[in-house]
Amino acid sequence: MIAYILRRLALIPLTLFGIILVNFLIVQIAPGGPVEQVLSRLQGMDGGATARFSGSGGGEAGGGSATSALGPTTAYRGARGLDPAYVKSLEVQFGFDRPAHERFLKMVGDYLTFDLGQSYYRSIPVIDLILEKMPVSLSLGIWSTMIIYLVSIPLGIAKAVRDGSRFDMATSWMVVVGYAVPSFLFAILLIIVFAGGRYFDWFPLRGILSDNWRELSWPQLALDYLWHMVLPVTALVIGGFASLTMLTKNSFLEEIRKQYVITARAKGLTESKILYRHVFRNAMLLVVAGFPAALVSMLFTGSVLIEVIFSLDGLGLLGFESTMNRDYPVMFGTLYIFGLIGLLLSLISDATYHIIDPRIDFESREN
């Protein structure tokens, strides 16, 4: 297993290189880069509109000092466009005066030292932005994943034990709804019903803390935090529990029908002892080992729209805003961190399989 882990660790840099390369190539053909974003904003202002820029070329996601704030210093005049010299200066500022391959190689070299560059529009290092937004996304991901497991595992076991019963049929409708309706639609419904949309105004619509959180004591702060988390976490749980429930049910059904269970019954063991002493460990292998992958899904995919809908200042909202603004250093920096964490958690997931059941040996499967 150690040799397998070492090989997987050695493949992580190559995999990350491929991910970044593919996305870099896509960005090269996508219209509306940061220079175009600045020009379109300037052209939408009055004749005296101006823009401030500082620093020098920083590459698309490289570790340069490129920054941009759309404030006044360099004026442009004329209804037909901007001064070509000013446009050229913007290209130099954002690093687009260099060929694409040079920008890519510089970016990769900087990433080797975790220098993710600076945001074009915030003048903040990308790594600081990611660390600043990470707690919000971690809160959503950890709470949602924990509650999903606490709900789905008992429900899946109950459905397996009562397979075909009225309880199984009734709860199957809940699972069907969870499969069919995405979490962001549940989020909108929760806002309409419980956040002042139409019926009740019980929960806050946005943010993770109230504006006066500095004035609150620690118990009040904890309650305020939980109060803000109710709706977004509920939306994620409703949209994510269905697949884990069915995985748990199917795992238990498969184990219950095996020969060792029939033998245990023949020996006179009670159903509870058979279920929790013998079936549980084998059936829970897939469920428990899939925890890292489920956490990654909640952190980096499932919570993106939820963060946007509830205005939660996390990594999902940061990625959305950087994409809309063509803030390439933030886009590629978050992609790099997401990819690295995802690959590491995938490796942890494989190791968890082996720890729970030593019979699973990924190293022997590769030979």
Q: Which residue has the higher pLDDT, 227 or 183?
A: 227
- Tell me the per-residue pLDDT of 154-167, one tens digit each, with 9 for 90 and over: 899 889 888 888 99
Which pTM value belongs to this model?
Answer: 0.72
Least confident of 28-37, 65-74, 184-193, 344-353: 65-74
- Would you state the pLDDT for residue 44? 62
- Would you state the pLDDT for residue 14? 92
Q: Is residue 85 pLDDT above 80, yes or no?
A: no
For residues 32-52, give the mean pLDDT: 58
For residues 99-105, give the mean pLDDT: 87
What confidence tier does 345 reach under pLDDT thresholds 50, 70, 90? confident
- Would you state the pLDDT for residue 339? 85
What confidence tier does 17 reach under pLDDT thresholds 50, 70, 90? very high
Q: Is residue 13 pLDDT above 60, yes or no?
A: yes
Q: Is residue 119 pLDDT above 70, yes or no?
A: yes
Q: What residues contact 182, with CB distance under 8 A and at least 6 apart?
A: 239
For residues 20-39, give the mean pLDDT: 79
Q: Is residue 110 pLDDT above 80, yes or no?
A: yes
Q: Which domains does the chain have, with CATH numbers?
A: 35-123 (no CATH), 127-325 (1.10.3720.10)
- Would you state the pLDDT for residue 54? 39
Percentage above 90 pLDDT, the chain:
7
- Would you state the pLDDT for residue 53? 39
What confidence tier does 366 reach under pLDDT thresholds 50, 70, 90? low
For residues 116-131, give the mean pLDDT: 87
Q: Which residue has the higher pLDDT, 292 or 140?
A: 140
Q: Is residue 62 pLDDT above 60, yes or no?
A: no
Q: Is residue 76 pLDDT above 50, yes or no?
A: no
- Would you state the pLDDT for residue 356? 67
Q: Is residue 283 pLDDT above 70, yes or no?
A: yes
CA-derived radius of gyration, the chain: 26
For residues 247-268, give the mean pLDDT: 86
- Would you state the pLDDT for residue 21? 92
- Tell me the per-residue pLDDT of 284-335, one tens digit each, with 9 for 90 and over: 777 776 677 677 777 666 677 888 888 888 888 888 888 888 888 898 998 8
**Considering the chain, what is the average pLDDT of its residues?**
78
